[in-house]
Amino acid sequence: MFPLQLLGFDVDVINSVHFSNHTGYSNGFEGDVLDGEQLKTILYGLKNNGLIDNVTYLLTGYIGKENFLRTVVDFLKKRSATGSKKIRYVCDPVLGDDGKFYVSSELVSIYRDEVIPLADIITPNKFEAEQLSGISIANMEDGKRACRALHDIGPELVVITSLTFEDKVERGDGKMTILASVRAKSEDGCVDDSLWFVHTPIIPGSFTGVGDLFAALLLGWTSKDPNNLPLVLQRVVSTLYSIIKVTKEYSKNVNDLKPELPELRLIQSKNIIDNPPLLFEVERL
C-alpha cells in the first residue's frame, strides 16, 4: 500500500496472508492464511472503534479461502444497505497466471457470480480474464469480447493487465499489451464501451507483486483523474515499467535473475511513483 500512501491516501491494511516472505523465493515460504471468521472479527473491531464508517475505497488482491472472499462480499452488501457513502471497490481477482491456478479453481465462480458484480474496477491478467469471461484470448478482438463480457457482470472499468499476442501486427515483437475498457451508461439505458491499449517492452525476469502494484496505482490515479483514462494508463504503466527496470538493474547478475532477488524497489522508486514519466503511447481502439 506504500504507493497509495505516496499518492496522498490514508491506508489501513488487513493482510489476507501472513507469510515469512513472498511466494517467489526458491526455498518456499511459511505462514498463515486468514479465514473469513478472522476477518469478521477484525472488521467488528474496526467498526466498534469508528474506523470503518469513513472508508471510501476498498482494494482486494490475493485471497486464498472461500469464506474470506464471501466475508468481503458480506461487508460490501451490508455497507451498501446502511446508506453510508459508497465504497469504490477495486478488485484484483487473483486466480493464477500462465495457465496455472494459485488458488482453488472453485473461487472462479465466487468471483464471477458474487464478487465482481459489486466491483467498480477489476484488474485481471490474461489467464484470469479468460477464466472469468469464458473467452479464450488469442487476439485483440478476443480481448474486446472478454472486456464486454466482464462489463456485463458489473464493473465499469476493466483492465486486462498482461496480454501477449502471437500476431506481431497486433502487439509488436517482444511486447506486452495492457487493454482497458470503460463502460458508460446513458439515462436511456444505452451503453458505450471505450477501449484503450498500450504496448510495453517485456523486461525478462520473475517479479513478484507486480499485479498488486498495478492495482494500487490504478486505484490512486483513477481517483485523482477519474475522467482521463489514457493519462491514468500512461502513469500506471510507465511507473510499473520503471520500477521493474530499477529492480532489474539492482540485481547483480541481470542475465540470471534468481527468484529471491527481485524484491520490488518501491522505496527507492519514490520519485517515480510521485511523478511518473510518460513513456508509452496509449491508443484508442
Tally of CB atoms within 10 A around 258: 14
CB 107 within 8 A of CB 136: no
| DSSP H/E element including 233 | helix 229-250
- How do beta strands 57-60 and 88-91 pair? parallel
Catalytic site residue 212?
Answer: yes
CB 193 within 8 A of CB 183: yes
Among candidate residues 92, 120, 142, 212, the one labeled active-site is 212
| DSSP H/E element including 100 | strand 100-101
| DSSP H/E element including 13 | none
- Residue 18 dihedral angles phi and psi, to the nearest 5°: -130, 90
Active-site amino acid positions: 212
